[in-house]
């Protein structure tokens, strides 16, 4: 009997992944527990061990394929009464009986059954389906003996568009949402693209891996969350002095004392006073889920694209601890060593592009969080104030532009102003901030 290896459950709500690398070839002998492939899920690469000992007789996927839990990935020879299994070219045509049964079971669960052969439909209906980007196989037929009509296709396209507009996941916890929803398309089908090569050379590049995940996550956030931005500047003059004083000591500890570290602490102070910024919205149940933990995501620019590793329990860690942990996490993330665990469970995100410059930007919230803090470049600016004699006086101050984008369904502009107030106050008076250490 041949055995098949199907993609196992990869953990919390992860139902699909992209094949990054296949570590075995047809004919290889593998031991149970040997890593056989690398799958990327939700931006993290996971090595998958073999459940069997035996010879690899067939590989059904290629790097770049999206696979779903339960999909057949690799075939193994097995047991004593082994039947010769011919290596297959292309997708398996005659699936073994078990697999066929599984397909049937799945079909029973999910509404549209898998249909074989060409779908009966008139040529005009087939062209219409192409125009609307509909796979005829998915369309429930109304005609005799399973014939799909033009009306069936239109109705299906409308329903699909509505479903994609509908905001909420059902029973799933909010964290699962990003992997559950289809490509988020706000209103109906995307109009088809023109043939750009009519106007000059083009090159087509596959949307893969981190880029694909980012595209999906951003489209989701932008289409689901009514974003509002609130901006201010914090006077970092004192904090910068403090940072310079302690920088070397922290480096000796193996960390980096960056403005982000202080911002993390300041954010936690603000989140504690304004818990609805440390929350997620559950529209289905009409509830706001307030989180009693402070896990802060930090946006990291890597070769592969944007990744957001999460630093846990920021409220319970010292500046030194955070300096070391953040530095280590950023290094590991850049090296592609971040685990799925590292990339999940955040309650609020910080994105600091100060090192690259800029006077401000509008960050997009990391769905399903409620708010995000953006930091641009801090600069020395002439600040006008009054001296003790009540006269105007210009003084150079080290000013940091701060942007908070928030979900207006959960908090209001006044809340954001107050949240920003706490944040500013914490960053401007290091003594106070350090008390929260």
Partner 1 sequence: MVMGEQTLETEVAVIGGGPGGYAAAFRAADLGLEVTLINQEERLGGVCLLRGCIPSKVLLEMSTLIHDAREARGWGLEYGEFQIDVDALRARKDLVIDRLVNGLETLAERRDVQVIQARAVFEASDQVRLQGESDVSHVKYRHAILASGSTPIPPPDTEFTEGSRIMSSKGALALPDIPETLLVVGAGYNGVELGSAYAILGSRVTIVEMEDTILPGVDPDLVKHLARRLRREVEAIHLNTMVESMEEHEDGVTVALKGDVDEREQTFDRVLVAIGRRPNSGDMGLENTDVQVEEDGFIAVDEERRTDDQHVFAVGDVVGAPMLAHKAIYEGKIAAEVIAGEPAAFDVRCIPAVVYTDPQIAWCGLSEAEAADQGRDVGVGTFPWAASGRALTMGATAGSTKIIFDAETERVLGVGIVGRGAEDMIAEGALAVEMGAVAQDLALTVHPHPTLAETEGEAAEAFLGLATHIISRRQ
Among 121, 268, 400, 426, which residue sits at the site for partner 1 (rule: CB under 8 A)?
Answer: 121
| Torsion, CA 181, CA 182, CA 183, CA 186, rounded to 10 | -70
Q: Does 115 bind partner 1 (CB under 8 A)?
A: no
Report the alpha-carbon distance of residue 303 to residue 333 in Å, rounded.
Answer: 10
Q: Give the integer Cα–Cα distance in Å for 110 and 196.
A: 38
Q: How far is the CB of 119 from partner 1 (least distance, A)?
A: 8
Phi-psi region of 5 (alpha: psi -120 to 50; beta: other; left: phi over 0): beta
d(CA 100, CA 355): 55
Stretch near partner 1 under the rule CB under 8 A, chosen from 144-152, 159-167, 237-245, 389-397: 144-152
Among 3, 15, 115, 147, binds partner 1 (CB under 8 A): 147
Q: Closest distance between partner 1 and the C-beta of residue 151, in Å?
A: 15
CA dist list (Å): 321 to 55, 174, 195, 248:
48, 30, 54, 15
* 339 lies in the binding site for partner 1 (CB under 8 A): no
**What are the E-state strand segments in 323-391?**
348-352, 371-375, 379-386
Q: Does 393 bind partner 1 (CB under 8 A)?
A: no
Q: Residue 92 or 120: which CB sits closer to partner 1?
A: 120
Residue 63 has φ and ψ, to the nearest 5°, of -55, 140
Q: How far is the CB of 2 from partner 1 (least distance, A)?
A: 23
- Among the listed residues 123, 206, 382, 390, the single contact to partner 1 using CB under 8 A: 123
Q: Which is nearer to partner 1, 117 or 382 (CB)?
A: 117
> What's 402's DSSP letter?
E
DSSP secondary structure, 26-71, as one string: TT-EE-TT-EEEEEEETTEEEEEE-SS-EEEEEE---TT-EEETT-
Least separation in angstroms between CB 53 and partner 1: 37
Judge contact between 362 and 351, C-beta under 8 A: no
Of 194 and 382, CB closest to partner 1: 194
Confirm or reject binding of residue 120 to partner 1 (CB under 8 A): yes
Site string for partner 1, 162-201 (x = CB under 8 A): ------------------------------x-xx-xx---
- By CB under 8 A, is residue 79 in contact with partner 1? no
- Is residue 143 a contact point for partner 1 (CB under 8 A)? yes
| 3 state DSSP class of 3 | strand
Residue placing its CB nearer to partner 1 in the complex, 120 or 354 = 120
Task: Give the residue, chosen from 115, 126, 154, 304, that forms a contact with partner 1 under the rule CB under 8 A.
Answer: 126
Ordered strands of the 66-68 beta sheet: 44-49, 35-41, 16-22, 66-68
| Closer to partner 1 by Cβ: residue 149 or 223 | 149
User: Is 64 or 133 the residue whose CB approaches partner 1 more closely?
Assistant: 133
Angle between helices 150-165 and 123-132 (to 10 degrees): 10
Binding residues for partner 1, rule CB under 8 A, total 19
Is 408 a catalytic site residue?
Answer: yes
Residues with catalytic roles: 408
Residues that bind partner 1 (CB under 8 A): 118, 120-123, 126-127, 130-131, 143-147, 192, 194-195, 197-198
């Amino acid at each position: 009997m041949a055995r098949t290896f199907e993609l196992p459950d990869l953990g919390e709500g992860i139902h699909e992944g992209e094949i990054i690398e296949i570590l075995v070839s047809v004919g290889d002998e593998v031991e149970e527990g040997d890593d056989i492939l690398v799958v990327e899920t939700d931006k993290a690469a996971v090595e998958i061990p073999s459940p069997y000992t035996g010879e690899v007789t067939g590989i059904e996927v290629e790097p770049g394929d999206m696979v779903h839990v339960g999909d057949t990935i690799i075939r193994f020879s097995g047991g004593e009464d082994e039947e010769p299994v011919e290596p297959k070219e292309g997708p398996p045509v005659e699936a073994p009986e078990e697999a066929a049964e599984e397909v049937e079971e799945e079909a029973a669960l999910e509404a549209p059954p898998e249909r074989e052969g060409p779908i009966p439909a008139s040529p005009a209906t087939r062209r219409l389906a192409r125009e609307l980007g509909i796979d005829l196989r998915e369309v429930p037929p109304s005609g005799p003996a399973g014939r799909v009509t033009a009306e069936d296709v239109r109705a299906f396209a409308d329903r699909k568009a509505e479903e994609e507009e509908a905001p909420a996941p059902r029973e799933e916890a909010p964290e699962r949402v990003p992997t559950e929803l289809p490509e988020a398309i706000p209103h109906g089908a995307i109009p088809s693209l023109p043939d750009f090569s009519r106007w000059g050379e083009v090159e087509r590049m596959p949307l893969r891996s981190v880029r694909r995940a980012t595209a999906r996550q951003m489209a989701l956030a932008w289409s689901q969350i009514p974003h509002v931005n609130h901006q201010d500047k914090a006077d970092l003059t004192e904090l910068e002095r403090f940072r310079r004083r302690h920088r070397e000591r922290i480096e000796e500890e193996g960390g980096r004392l960056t403005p982000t570290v202080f911002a993390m602490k300041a954010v936690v102070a603000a989140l504690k006073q304004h818990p609805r910024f440390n929350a997620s919205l559950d529209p289905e149940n009409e509830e706001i889920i307030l989180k009693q933990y402070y896990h802060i995501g930090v946006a990291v620019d890597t070769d592969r694209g944007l990744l957001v590793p999460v630093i846990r329990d920021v409220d319970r860690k010292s500046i030194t601890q955070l300096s070391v942990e953040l530095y280590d996490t950023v290094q590991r993330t850049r090296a592609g060593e971040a685990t799925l665990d590292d990339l999940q469970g955040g309650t609020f995100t910080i994105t600091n592009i100060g090192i690259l410059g800029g006077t401000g930007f509008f960050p997009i919230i990391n769905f399903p969080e409620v708010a995000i803090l953006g930091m641009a470049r801090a600069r020395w600016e002439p600040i006008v104030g009054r001296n003790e004699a009540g006269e105007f006086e210009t003084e150079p101050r080290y000013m940091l532009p701060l942007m908070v984008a928030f979900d207006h369904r959960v908090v209001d502009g006044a809340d954001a102003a107050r949240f920003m107030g706490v944040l500013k106050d914490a960053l401007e008076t290091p003594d106070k901030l350090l008390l929260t250490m």
